[in-house]
Amino acid sequence: MARIQRTLLNNGIKVVTEHMDDMESSSVGIWVKTGSRDELPKENGISHFIEHMLFKGTAKRSAFDIAASIESVGGVLNAFTGKEYTCFYAKVLNKDIPLAVDVLTDMFLNSAFKASEIEREKLVVCQEIKMVDDTPDDVVHDLFMKGMWGAKGELGTPILGTSKTVSAFTSDAISGYMGRRYQGSNVLITAAGGIKHDKILKLFDKAMKSVAKGDTLSEKPTQRRKPSVMQESFSSVNLIKRDLEQVHMCLGVPAVEQADKDRYKLYLLNTILGSGMSSRLFQEVREKRGLAYSVYSYLNLMRGAGALTVYAGTVKKDFKRVIALVTKELRRMGKDITPKTLKCAKDQLKGGILLGLETSDSRMNKLARDEIYFGKSLSIKEIVSNIDAVTPVQIKNMAKRLFVPSRMTLAAVGRVTKRDLPEWLKRK
């Protein structure tokens, strides 16, 4: 029997499972392929708000009952929202999977959306927004996305929304958005662990019958872009002046989309550049010069768009020097990649992937992301093979393609103004 099995229900919901031998736990998630990039400007933050509201009670369970039902068996119940999907999931012992499915489907199908709860949760989410706003190393990442993709663009708006948009949400706005996006054809169920596909299928087929298949969802222009085409960005400088001990900065460029055939080159480039203590950025900025405690690079790859971003936190007097060191390392990526360096990066990347897939919840997440971005499950063998096939020349060519000063975006939060920037950034 195949470890990974998939079934398409009559209403368009896809169910994908992976059986993991000798695993005592199972994780199951209901995914909706919708997030902040699917919202209208006045709806910004509504995907995340709905995520909150599904925990606030149904006809047969109070908010306390929802939480206690899973915690009482030692399980975990949670949810998260991104730019392109929302997930509601539970992790429990195998014997408690029927309970987990019952709770998740009850939340998903029967949430009450009481007016009093909506008003109360508006206050909660606005507090969450303020909490993020008080955390400069969180603010700078949203500021970077805003600068790269545009303040009113689907990728440049914050996942949480703003206090203004959240405060204006109504029950009609929520039901209207869910009516458009929470359709069977836009819902995915994934499960992994010591469970059998037939059991999961039986539980969800019965529980989710009432979900309408819906019309084919229209896609936005950026979601229809051809593979290997990098979305144009707004190459800019965005500064927020605050009285802080450090300047928190993000410097980055647009990159390939998640499903692009060149993504493995990008994974390895990012690993060499800023992933871990052995990375070039960590060694050059922190270890050799002590200019930052935290310095790293990361990827944010989506449908039709992507970004490679470098983050660092440093004192104001070293701000310009850190930018110079970062850009020096970006240029170096296009010139100096030895076979030994690449082999170490390949071993690091492959090891991290394998170690990250040892739990049922990580496997459940992988199943969903594979389906969302590739329409199939990628085997570990396929992933490893693609990583091993990358050459030093390919890494250098990608670096030259990406790291062009005219395409770079900078965001910074702290006691910094344009006078503190290097000349090439002042011109943006």
pLDDT tens-place string over residues 286-337: 999 999 999 999 999 999 999 999 999 999 999 999 999 999 999 999 999 9
56 plus 134 within the same structural domain: yes
Residue 339 falls inside a structural domain: yes
Residue 136 falls inside a structural domain: yes
pLDDT at 219: 47
Helix (H) or strand (E) holding 352: helix 339-355
pLDDT at 2: 66
How many domains does the structure of the chain reveal?
2
Catalytic (active site) residue 51: yes
Are the beta carbons of 260 and 281 closer than 8 angstroms? no
Is pTM beyond 0.85 here? Answer: yes
At position 370, the amino acid (one-letter code) is D
Q: How far is CA 210 from CA 97, 108, 109, 248, in A?
A: 21, 11, 8, 48
Residue 221 falls inside a structural domain: no
Provide the phi-psi class of 74: left if phi over 0, else alpha when psi is between -120 and 50, else beta: left
Residue 214 falls inside a structural domain: no
pLDDT at 223: 41
191 plus 269 within the same structural domain: no
Selection from 334, 332, 308 nearest residue 256 by Cα = 308
CA atoms of 72 and 64, how far apart (whole Å):
11
Selection from 125, 70, 80, 74 nearest residue 100 by Cα = 70
195 plus 242 within the same structural domain: no
177 plus 296 within the same structural domain: no
pLDDT at 224: 35
- DSSP 3-state of 91: strand
CA atoms of 380 and 355, how far apart (whole Å):
12
194 plus 263 within the same structural domain: no
CA atoms of 361 and 59, how far apart (whole Å):
28
CA atoms of 129 and 266, how far apart (whole Å):
32
- DSSP 3-state of 270: helix
Residue 133 structure tokens: 């706003």
Catalytic residue among 18, 43, 51, 257: 51
Helix (H) or strand (E) holding 411: strand 409-414
Residues in the chain: 428
Residue 72 falls inside a structural domain: yes
Domain that holds residue 54: 4-207
Rg value, the chain, Cα: 23
Are the beta carbons of 409 and 147 closer than 8 angstroms? yes
Residue 226 falls inside a structural domain: no
Regions of the chain where pLDDT drops below 50: 218-230
36 plus 82 within the same structural domain: yes
Selection from 144, 134, 424 nearest residue 297 by Cα = 144
pLDDT at 217: 59
Q: Where are the beta strands (DSSP E) in 220-338?
A: 237-241, 247-254, 295-301, 306-314
Last residue of a domain, one of 150, 185, 207: 207
At position 251, the amino acid (one-letter code) is L
18 plus 161 within the same structural domain: yes
Render pLDDT for 242-292 as a digit per residue (tens, 0 to 9). 999 999 999 999 999 999 999 999 999 999 999 999 999 999 999 999 999
CATH number at residue 302: 3.30.830.10
201 plus 259 within the same structural domain: no
Show contacts of 223-228: CB within 8 Å, 24+ apart.
Answer: 223/303, 223/304, 224/304, 225/257, 225/303, 225/304, 225/305, 227/257, 227/259, 227/260, 227/261, 228/256, 228/260, 228/261, 228/262
DSSP state letter for 366? H
Residue 219 falls inside a structural domain: no
- Evaluate the CA torsion angle 406, 156, 366, 9 in order and state its sign: negative
243 plus 392 within the same structural domain: yes
pLDDT at 235: 82
126 plus 249 within the same structural domain: no
338 plus 199 within the same structural domain: no
CA atoms of 58 and 76, how far apart (whole Å):
19
252 plus 368 within the same structural domain: yes
pLDDT at 221: 37
Residue 316 falls inside a structural domain: yes
